[in-house]
Amino acid sequence: MRFLTWAIRLALFVVLLAFAAKNTDPVTLRFYFNLAWQAPLVALLLAFFAAGTVLGLAAMFGTYLAQRREIARLQRSASSRTQSDAPVASQPPAAEG
């Protein structure tokens, strides 16, 4: 199974490398106010992919922190509950006699 996973990764890498090698033509990205940026197509694709990844992680970060706080609160609650539910050691009743 591990061999198959690495074979698929290698095949994907080769396909993406061939894609990058075929798309080195310069393209112009036009912004507002007559600003333009000229770069190879593959570089622009990589830049926008990286920017999307960063924005996605930033959007997820708030939810991640909220979940960590909730987990910590639940762990504290469970810990205090198990400590309060622990049996209290008592002395045996005195023998009558």
pLDDT digit string, tens, across residues 12-24:
989 988 888 887 8
- Residues ≥6 apart with Cβ < 8 Å to 69: none
Q: Are strands 36-40 and 26-30 parallel, antiparallel or unpaired?
A: antiparallel
Tell me which amino acid residue 32 is. Y
For residue 33, the 8-state DSSP code is T
CB 32 within 8 A of CB 18: no
Name the residue range of residue 23's domain: 16-76
For residue 30, the 8-state DSSP code is E
Question: Total structural domains in the chain?
Answer: 1
Give residue 97's pLDDT band: very low, low, confident or very high (50, 70, 90): low
- pLDDT 10s digits, 51-80: 999 999 999 999 999 999 999 999 998 888
Residue 88 belongs to some domain of the structure: no
CB 40 within 8 A of CB 23: yes
Residue 92 belongs to some domain of the structure: no
